[in-house]
Structure formats: C-alpha cells, structure tokens
Structure 1
Amino acid sequence: MTESMDRPLRILMIAPTSFFLDYGCHVRILEEARVLQRLGHRVTIVTYYLGRDIPGLEILRCRPTPWRADYEVGSSLHKLAFDVFLAWRVWEILLHRRFDLIHGHLYEGALIGKVLGRPWRLPVVFDRQGSLTGEMVDHRFLNPNGPWYRWVRLLEERINEMADVIVTSTQQGAVQLGHLGDRVRIRPLPDCVNADFFRPGVLSREDIAARRAALGLPPEGPVVVYLGLLADWQGIPQLLQAARVLKERSISVYFLVGGFPGEEHYRNMACDLGVGDRVIFTGKVPY
C-alpha cells in the first residue's frame, strides 16, 4: 500500500447507509471523499438505494429490498437486509473494475470490504465511528445481558483485527482500540469543520440580528446549538433536561435544535418540561 501512494489511487468507498442525508456520519463520508479527490485520487462510493446524489461524486447504489425500500435510522433487521444487497453490489463492481484500496465506513463496510476484497488482496481502511455493540445497545436492538451480545462483541473484535488500517472519528476511539497493540495500525482522524465553508465573518452584525429575530432568539445572550439526529440515544432528552435546570436556576440560555426525525416528539417533550419557550426546533437543516 505504501508503494501505491506514489500515484493516484482508485478507491472503493463502502458506505452502509443511505448516503447522502444531512447528518454527521454522512458529512464525514462526504468531506473525506472530497479531500481524497482534491489529492488526486479517484473515489467510487457504493451505498444503499436511498439517499441524495452529490454533484462531482461517483455514487453507485444497491437495489432496494423487495418488501421495503426504506428503513429507520439506526440498527434494525431491515438494515441487515440492506447490507446483504450492498455486499452483492460491491461484488458486482469488484468483478468488473479494478481498485487499489477499499475504504470501509462503519463496521459493516469494513467487513464487506475485507471479505469481498480478499480475492484481489485489496487493503482495507476501516473508518470507525463508534462501537458496533455500543450502537446496537443504544438503539435497543441488542440486549447487553442477552445471549447474542457476546457473539456480536466477538464479531466486532474480529472486524477490528481484520482491517489493515483503522481511522477513528475521535481520539477516544483510538484509545478504545489500544488493546490491539501493533496488530493493526490505528490513526485518529477526528471530525472537524470545513473551514472553507464554515467560517466567521460571513454575516454582518445586522444579518446576525435579523436571523436571530427570525428564529425567535433574543438579540443578545448565549445560545446552545445542537445539529444532528434527534433520538434518545443521541442525548436529546438529557439536553432538554439541562435546559430545564438552567431555567430553574434563572440562567438565561436558549437552545437551538436542528435535525430530524422526531422533531414534534421532542418539541412536546420540551413543553412538558416547561422549556418550550427556551428551546427552538428548526427541523432538518441542509448541509
């Protein structure tokens, strides 16, 4: 793999999600693909049937399941079926095109890439964005005290060991994999902001004041902003409870919450907690 870095690489990027949607995991995939393109590499993204095409990116999609074209965000049996269709699409592509490297996002992408890329001896970069079992438990798809937990945990460890290189989305993620020692190269690649697009000084003070007013925010004062998926396992209930604690302590802080799904559910929760006047929901915010 070191020798291949002297020339542009043909990278097969496996994204086991409905790329592109406007939230964190997808943003990481998008920005990494753009950076690789700017470095001169050719990136082909293979993903689920649903999602939004992005100009300038080659995106190939698997077919939908015959019984259901969509699936809910998070772990589900439908997602497992989508992964089977995604693996089949990857296999078709590998049979007809040549690649130098597989970049597998999430545990499913790394597993598909390593197994199917083996006949061509393709190295696999595993883009790890959290624990497989941890996510399944958070989504209440896997019982940590149930009989399947041990086997899923063993699968997670096996995928960790299969990768040639693991890049983690946080420094903590790299620490969690420290037990692998020298068996796998681990490189932290924390999420960051595209400073070419998100930068201060774009709006004048008048523009900022107008936008705050349009959102129902006071002209001055601190604002806590959350942008991402709205789900219990993302900590939204705790965020709203924090807003209540601050209000009870007469601390004037407003919360601007953008994202999807479940907007109406959490708006009602905020009202029930007595902070409906302090928490403003914007709905989905295009990236």
Structure 2
Amino acid sequence: MRIGIFTDAYLPLISGVTTSIYMLAEGLRKEGHEVYIITTSGKNVVEEPYVIRLKGMPIPKKGLKTFRIVPFTKGHIKKIAALNLDVMHVHTEFSIGSVAVHMRDKYGIPMVFTVHTMYEEYLHYVSKFLARFLRRPLMHYLKKLMKRFILRADVTITPTQKVLDLMKSYDIHGHYEIIPTGIKLDKFVGENYTQEQVSTLKQSLGIQPDEFVYLFLGRVSKEKSIPVLINAFAEIHKDVKAKFLIIGDGPAMNELKDLVETLGIKDKVIFTGFINWNQVGLYYQLGDAFLNASVTETQGLTYIEALAASLPVIVKYDSCLLDVIQEFDNGLFFRQNNELPYLMKRIYEDPELRNKLTKNAYKSIEKYSQECYSSNALKAYQKAIEIKKAE
C-alpha cells in the first residue's frame, strides 16, 4: 500500500505528534508498505527519502516559532499526486492538511484523519489577548476547521474516549475509531543502556549517584503546568536528597528559570534544554519518578514512555489516562495540586511502594507497542478504502 502521512510538524521538532508519526511510519514500513511523510520545510532539517517538505513561512509568534505555514496549498497538488497514494492519513487541520483535502476533493483518494490537539488549551499561542477576550469566536472557528476535516474523512481516529467525547460535544458526526498511539517500547527499557552510560550522563548534569531524581520530560510550555511541579518540589526539597530534572525546551523556559530562582532552588533544578530525540530513552534512565501536571493531553505519550522505562509516575488526574495509569499499581494520581508534595515525598520515603510501581510499570503498557499501533492504523486505512469504494 502507498500511504501518505500529512503533518505540519515532523522531526527534528520533538513532540508527542512527531514521535507518534515517526513510530507509525516506521511500523508500517516494517510491514512492507511504502510510506511518505508530507510536511513543511524548516531549520536544521536533514533531507530524507520518503520525506517531502513543502516550503513554508515561519509564524511570527514566540510560542510557534518552530512551525511553518504553507501558502497556496493548491499549488502542491500536482507534486503530491505523482506519488499515486492509495490512502492519506492527515494529522493536522492547517496548511499541510489542506493539501490533503484538495487531493481528496480532486482525486477521491480515501482519507483518514487523526485528532491530536485539545485546542481550548492552546489559544494563548495565537494571542493572549484574543484567547482572553475573543475565546468564543476563536473556538467557533476551530470547531468549523475540525468539522471540515472530519466530514471529509472516511475514518476519523481519536486516541482516547476523552477526545471522542469532545468531538461529540462539538456536534461533529463522523466515522470514528479509537486507536491509541503506539511507541517503540524497547527504546525506553533500562536494560538497553549500560550503567556507565547512565552514570556518565548524571555526572555531566551534576547529579550525585545517591541523589533521587524527579523527572519531567516534554515541551516546556504553559499548557504543561510545570510551575505546579516546581512549586511542589520547592515545598519538599529540604526533606529529600533529590534533584528535579526538566528535560525539553519551549517558550516557557525563561519564565520557569525565573520561578526556580525566586524559590531559591536553582541548585536543585536542572534544565537540559533541547535534547536529540535519539537520546530520549537514555535520559529517562536518570529518573526515579516521573512527574506531570498537564490536563491538556489527548493521550499522554510521555507517560507511556516513562512506564516503559519502569518509572513510577505521579501525575494529575485526567480521564484520558484511565487506560494508562492504574492507581497504586503502576502510578499515582493527584487531584488537587496541594496533594502533589505529599505523594512526591511518599515515593521517596516508601521503597516498598516504589518497587511495586516499578515492577508493574512496563507490563502495564505492552498494548501501546509500535506493532499494535501500525496494525490498527492499517485496519483504519482498509476501512477508509472500503467506505470510499462503496460511495
């Protein structure tokens, strides 16, 4: 099968979406399919076979500086049509997605669409003023945009029931399939890294061998609620021999560094900044517990990565995580922010609980393997082709 994956974001940009697309493409190729990534141009990109980059313009907003908008999308149809695609899988509602819509309208190519983003929590990237004072019309526009794709898609994929319920609350009807995003689990397993690799990396970051490490990994941005984690760590840092490691980069970095300095914990919090995606698995090995306070995830791939690395997770309760986190079996939920310091201290002081969560972590997420994801996606593609033929 010749498959086109359409996305506005792709490597080297690191995010849950880019990771899931890379994993999907690799899994599909392992099964013998020809997969093309249609995406935007950008800085520091490496030319790769089967990755087609359409020239895009940078967005003049700090929080969106890594993204590109492709103008005149109809002008790219001829180039993409030459790929003779059997099915298109669209991962964006914006410019690259419009290229796929034009392709569908002109050539009738079956189309699958995946909903990735909870836009209510991302409006501030466009404009803080508009997000505050014109939230309703902005959401009306985004719902119309989403509807445009879902109505055209032969199959729409949502990663969780939470996202499906949101689409239904928008009164957008379509042929939905719930397919959790998969990852390459082996990349995060501790046995694939030597103790020397882990010790060397710890030393380079200034982490002592006997220090407990709380770890956050992800985009350093407002919707991730990282100040909740920093404030909780500040509350307990005198009672624990620990460091807080924040792995990743993003528009909130300076604000978080200022907060750490204000709280007087600059020597206890480590910001790595951007790290290469190929190094992510090793960085997880530095942690003793994974923290996250976000409630804007559509699935939470970093939670699954952390569990694959056998880390106990302490995360803010969110319905999208109910299939991922089994409380007091492979992780802990906090409902209110003031519960987090207690749980962080408990995981530090209670080796029996920590060992139980560690033991159960990996086996709890085997269903999120790359193989399961690509197999389920293929079923969705075949369904889309059947629906198209029946029209």
State the TM bucket, normalised to the shorter chain: 0.7 to 0.9
Q: How many residues align?
A: 269
Normalising to structure 1: TM-score of the pair? Answer: 0.79
Conserved? CA contact 1:105–1:128, under 8 Å: yes
Match of 1:260 among 249, 257, 274: 249
**Deviates most, 96-105 or 110-119:** 110-119
The equivalent of 2:33 in structure 1 is 41
Tell me the TM-score normalized by structure 2.
0.60
**CA deviation digits over 1:167-209, x for unaligned, max 9?**
234453234334569731222223x441232212133445434
CA distance in 1, matches of 2:235, 2:21: 36
Match of 2:229 among 239, 254, 267: 239
- Flag the 1:251–1:193 CA change in 2: closer, same or farther, 3 A: farther
In structure 2, the residue corresponding to 1:226 is in which secondary structure?
Answer: strand
Match of 1:119 among 106, 111, 117: 106
Amino acid aligned to 1:102: M
- Among candidates 46, 49, 71, match of residue 53 of structure 1: 46
Q: CA deviation at 1:223?
A: 1.9
Residue 146 of structure 2 corresponds to residue 159 of structure 1: no
**How far apart are residue 101 of structure 1 and its match?**
0.7
1:5 corresponds in structure 2 to none
Structure 1 counterpart of 2:78, from 67, 92, 95: 92
- Segments of structure 1 that go 5 or more residues without pairing to the other structure are 1-8
Q: Say which SS state the counterpart of residue 254 (structure 1) adopts.
A: strand
Amino acid of the residue matched to residue 210 of structure 2?
E
Deviation (angstroms), 1:231: 1.6
Q: Secondary structure at the match of 1:166?
A: strand
8 Å Cα contact 1:110-1:125 kept in structure 2: no
* Closer, same or farther: CA 95–256 of 1 in aligned 2, 3 Å: same
RMSD of aligned alpha carbons:
3.1
* Deviation at residue 42 of structure 1 after TM alignment: 0.9
Q: Percent identity?
A: 21
Instruction: Determine the C-alpha separation between the residues in 2 that align with 1:187 and 1:89.
Output: 33
More helix by share: 2
- Mapping for residues 97-246 of structure 1, pairs under 5 Å: 97-108=83-94, 109-131=96-118, 133-141=119-127, 142-143=130-131, 145-146=133-134, 147-178=137-168, 183-190=174-181, 192-246=182-236
Distance 1:16 1:88, change over 3 A: farther
Q: Which runs of 5+ in 2 are unaligned?
A: 278-391
Question: Which region of structure 1 is more displaced relative to structure 2, 136-145 or 253-262?
Answer: 136-145
Displacement after TM superposition at 1:50 (Å) = 0.8
Q: Is the 8 A contact 1:107 1:126 kept in 2?
A: no
CA contact (8 A) 2:54 2:70 kept: no
Task: Give the number of the structure with larger relative contact order, counting CA–CA contacts within 8 Å between residues 6 or more apart.
Answer: 2
